[in-house]
Chain A
Amino acid sequence: MPEQIRKARPHVSQSEGLIFEKSSPGKHAYSLPPLDVPAVKPEDILGRARLRAEITDFPEVSEVEIVRHFTRLSTWNYGVDTGMYPLGSCTMKYNPRVNEVVTRLEGLANAHPYQPAAFSQGCLKILWQLERCLLEITGMDAITLQPAAGAHGELTGILLTRAYLTAQSNPRKKVLIPDSAHGTNPATGTMAGYQIENVKSNRQGQVDLDSLRAVMTEDVAALMITNPNTLGVFEENIAEIAEIVHARGGLLYMDGANMNALMGVTRPGDFGVDIVHLNLHKTFSTPHGGGGPGAGPIAVKKSLAPFLPVPVLEQQADGSLRFTYDRPQTIGRMRAFYGNFGVLVRALAYILANGAEGLLEAAQDAVLNSNYIRRQLEDVYELPYKSPTLHECVFSDKHQAKYGVRTMDIAKRLLDFGFYAYTVAFPLIVPGALMIEPTESESKEELDLFVDAMRAIAREAETNPELLKTAPHTTRVGRLDEVRAARNPILRWQPAD
Chain B
Amino acid sequence: MRYLPTSAAERTEMLAALGCASIEDLFASIPAAIRLRHPLTLPPAMSEPEILDYFRARAQENAPDYLRFLGAGAYYHFQPVVIDALISRGEFFTAYTPYQAEISQGTLQSIFEFQTLICQLTAQEIANASLYDGSTGLAEGAIMAVRLTDRSRVLVARSIHPEYREVLATYARNQKFDIEELPYLPSGQLDPQALARRLNQQTAAVAIQSPNFFGCLEEVAALAAQVHQQGALLVSVINEPVALGLLRPPAEADIVVLEAQALGLPPSFGGPYVGVLATKEKYVRSMPGRLAGETTDAAGRRGFVLTLATREQHIRREKATSNICTNQALCALMASIFMCVYGKQGLRELAEQNLAKAHYAASALGKVPGTKRLFSAPFFNEFVLQVPGDTSLVLRRLAEQKILAGIELARFYPELKNTLLICVTETHTRADIDRLVAGYRAALGVGGA
Contact = CB atoms under 8 A, between A and B. Distances in A.
Contacts of A351: 42-43
B40 A187 contact: no
B82 A67 contact: yes
Contacts of A353: 1-3, 45-46, 48, 51
B234 interface: no
Interface in A233-287: 233-234, 236, 238-239, 262-267, 270-271, 279, 281, 285, 287
A485 B54 CA distance: 49
25 contacts: A38-B360, A47-B378, A58-B339, A58-B344, A79-B92, A79-B95, A80-B90, A107-B59, A112-B269, A116-B404, A122-B59, A133-B42, A133-B43, A191-B174, A234-B30, A239-B31, A287-B94, A334-B170, A415-B100, A443-B10, A472-B103, A477-B101, A480-B296, A484-B295, A489-B308
Given A270-B34, A485-B294, A290 B96 contact: yes
Given A59-B340, A186-B317, A491-B284, A291 B86 contact: no
A287 to B, nearest CB: 5
A297 interface: no
Contacts of B374: none
Contacts of B13: 444
Interface string A44-59: 0111011110111111
Contact of B322 (A58, A187, A375, A492): A187
B394 interface: no
A489 B318 CA distance: 24
Interface in B22-73: 23, 26-31, 33-36, 39-46, 48, 50-52, 54-64, 66, 68, 70, 72-73
Contacts of A486: 293, 307-310
B273 to A, nearest CB: 8
Contacts of A103: 268
Interface in A422-440: 423-424, 426, 440
B340 A79 contact: no
B389 interface: no
Interface residues of B, number: 196
| Residue among A112, A122, A152, A479 with most chain B CB within 10 A | A112
B317 A480 contact: no
Contact of A412 (B102, B174, B330): B102
A357 interface: yes
B344 A112 contact: no
Contacts of B407: 114
A359 to B, nearest CB: 7
Interface string B304-339: 110111101111111110111111111101000101
A36 B89 contact: no
Nearest to A46: B378
B93 A95 contact: yes
A40 B70 contact: no
Given A290-B106, A489-B293, 19 more contacts: A36-B429, A46-B246, A56-B120, A60-B345, A73-B106, A112-B267, A126-B55, A159-B170, A190-B320, A290-B95, A292-B328, A294-B326, A336-B133, A337-B73, A372-B18, A440-B4, A490-B294, A492-B112, A492-B116
B74 A113 contact: yes
Contacts of A170: none
B217 A46 contact: yes
List the 7 closest pairs (A to B, CB-CB), nearest first: A337-B270, A107-B59, A81-B90, A289-B330, A355-B45, A122-B61, A291-B329
Given A341-B269, A390-B26, A352 B429 contact: no
B16 to A, nearest CB: 11
Nearest to A332: B170
Contacts of A420: 96, 100, 103
Contacts of A446: 5
A120 B62 contact: yes
A270 B136 contact: no
B426 A32 contact: yes
B442 interface: no
Contacts of B33: 239
A73 B298 contact: no
B164 interface: yes
A150 B303 CA distance: 29
Contacts of B73: 113, 336-337
A267 B246 contact: no
Contacts of B170: 159, 309, 331-334
A10 interface: no
Interface residues of A, number: 203
Contacts, number: 685
Nearest to A66: B340
Could you say which of B46, B103, B217 has the most chain A C-beta atoms within 10 Å of its C-beta? B103
B36 A337 contact: no
A192 B172 CA distance: 9
Query: Which residue, A271, A291, A309, A390, has most C-beta atoms of chain B within 10 A?
Result: A291
A137 interface: yes
B134 A336 contact: yes
A66 B91 CA distance: 17
Interface stretch (A342-350, A397-405, A456-464): A342-350
A149 B120 contact: no
Given A36-B430, A336-B135, A371-B26, A292 B268 contact: no
Interface in B143-197: 161, 163-164, 166-167, 169-171, 173-175
Contacts of A19: 113, 340
Contact of A45 (B14, B314, B325, B359): B359
B277 interface: no
* Central interface residue in A30, A289, A334, A356, by most chain B CB within 10 Å: A289
Contacts of B376: none
A35 B348 CA distance: 13
A364 B23 contact: yes
Interface in A99-137: 100-116, 118-123, 125-126, 129, 133, 136-137
Most buried by B among A82, A191, A266: A191
A336 B161 contact: yes
A455 to B, nearest CB: 15
B174 A485 contact: no
A106 B360 CA distance: 27
Interface stretch (B201-209, B224-232, B349-357): B349-357
Interface in A134-164: 136-137, 148-152, 154-155, 159, 162
A265 B93 contact: no
Given A149-B324, A292-B330, A353-B45, A411 B344 contact: no
B350 A32 contact: yes
Nearest to B360: A37
A78 B330 contact: no
A339 interface: yes
Contact of B355 (A45, A150, A470): A45
B249 interface: yes
Contacts of B132: 148-149, 152, 292, 335
Given A46-B246, A152-B136, A136 B42 contact: yes
B388 interface: no
B268 to A, nearest CB: 5
B344 A291 contact: no
Interface in B124-140: 125-127, 129-130, 132-136
A193 B175 contact: yes
A82 B46 contact: no
A90 B353 contact: no
B404 A73 contact: no
B91 A78 contact: yes
Contacts of B404: 112, 115-116, 119
Contact of B272 (A79, A104, A342): A342
Nearest to B126: A491
A415 B103 contact: yes
B449 interface: no
A409 interface: no
B342 interface: yes
Nearest to B11: A368
A125 B269 CA distance: 13
